[in-house]
Amino acid sequence: MASYSNICSINYMYMNAAVERSIGNLSGFVAPQLLASERYVELDGSLAKIFPLGRVQLGSVVLFQGASNSGVTSAVFELLSSGGMQKRWSALVGFENLGFLAAFEKGVDLAKVVSVPNPGRDLAQVVAVLMEAFSVVAIANPGFISSSQARNLISRARSSKSIIAVVQQSLNMYTAQSKGLWLSSYDYVISSSISGFSGLSKGGGFIKERRLSLSLGSRRVGGAVKSITVPI
C-alpha cells in the first residue's frame, strides 16, 4: 500500500507542471467566467479620467460632495450617462427637484432611470430593496440612515454588486435644507466645484459653457487625489 501511494505522489509531482498548464488552458473554456463588465462599470468622459483605470467597481460606495452651486448634480449625471451604464438600471432616491431634461441632454438613458422622490422614514429599507435590481442607487438625502443601517447597506452593496452613490451638499441655500451626514467610509469621494462660466455679459447672451472641476480621492489608490476640469 505504502509503495502504491508513493508512486502516486511521485507521479503527481512529476505531472504537476504539465497538469497545471493544461488546466490553465482548460479553465478558459470551463471555468465560470466573470466578465469585466460584470465587475465594473466602464466610465467615459470626465470621470474616466479621474477614476483608476477609467472604471468603477460594482459594489462600491461613492460620495459626491460639494456646497450649493458646486455642480454636484452634473457630476452625478456624468456617472449615469457613462458608457457602462448603457444596459444598467439606476434608481434616484430623494431627488426632489431634479431637472430630468438636463439629464436627458447629457445623454442619460431616462428609460432606465427610476425616481423615488420621497422615500420617507424607511429610506434604508427602500435603498436595500432597490439594490437587488439596480446597478446604481443614488441617494440625495441620507439623513435618516443610522450608522448600523449604513453598515448593513454597504455589505449588501458588496454582495448585490450595486453602486451606492451618496450625494451630499453641505447646505442648500435655495431650500435652506441641510443634508445629513451619512458615514465616513467611502470607497471613492468625488468633490466638485464650478470654476467658471462663459457666454454671459451684463445683460446679454446666455450661458454657453460652464467649467466643472472634479477631484477624486480614493482609498483604493492610497488616498491620492486626482483632479480634472471639464466644460459642461
Spatial contact of 160 and 63, defined as CB atoms under 8 Å apart: no
Instruction: Lay out the site mask for another protein across 190-219 (x = CB under 8 A, - = otherwise).
Output: ---xxxxx-xxxxxxxxxx-x---------
Q: Which three cell numbers stand for residue 74?
A: 452634473
Residues from 1 through 60 that contact another protein (CB under 8 A)? none
- Burial class from Cβ neighbours inside 10 Å (0-12, 13-18, 19+) for residue 54 reads middle
Spatial contact of 36 and 161, defined as CB atoms under 8 Å apart: no
- Please say which residue, 78 or 187, places its beta carbon nearer to another protein: 78
- Please say which residue, 119 or 142, places its beta carbon nearer to another protein: 119
| Binding test (CB under 8 A) with another protein, winner from 43, 56, 72, 139 | 72
User: Is residue 64 near another protein by the rule CB under 8 A?
Assistant: no
Q: How far is the CB of 11 from another protein (least distance, A)?
A: 44
State how beta strands 113-116 and 90-93 pair: parallel
User: Is residue 89 near another protein by the rule CB under 8 A?
Assistant: yes
Measured CA to CA, the distance from residue 224 to residue 232 in angstroms comes to 25
Number of neighbours of residue 201 by Cβ within 10 angstroms: 7
- Please say which residue, 49 or 210, places its beta carbon nearer to another protein: 210
Q: How far is the CB of 124 from another protein (least distance, A)?
A: 10
- Please say which residue, 24 or 199, places its beta carbon nearer to another protein: 199
User: Is residue 176 near another protein by the rule CB under 8 A?
Assistant: yes
* C-alpha dihedral sign at 100, 102, 103, 104: positive
- Please say which residue, 204 or 223, places its beta carbon nearer to another protein: 204
| Start-to-end C-alpha separation, the chain | 76
Per-residue DSSP letter, 33: P
| Binding test (CB under 8 A) with another protein, winner from 102, 181, 224, 225 | 102
- Please say which residue, 134 or 182, places its beta carbon nearer to another protein: 134
CB burial readout 98-128, b (16+ within 10 A) else e:
beeeebeeeebbeebbebbeebeeebbebbb
Residues from 107 through 146 that contact another protein (CB under 8 A)? 109-111, 113-116, 118-120, 122, 125-126, 129-130, 132-134
Residues lying near another protein in the complex (CB under 8 A): 67-74, 77, 87, 89, 91, 96-106, 109-111, 113-116, 118-120, 122, 125-126, 129-130, 132-134, 173-176, 193-197, 199-208, 210, 232
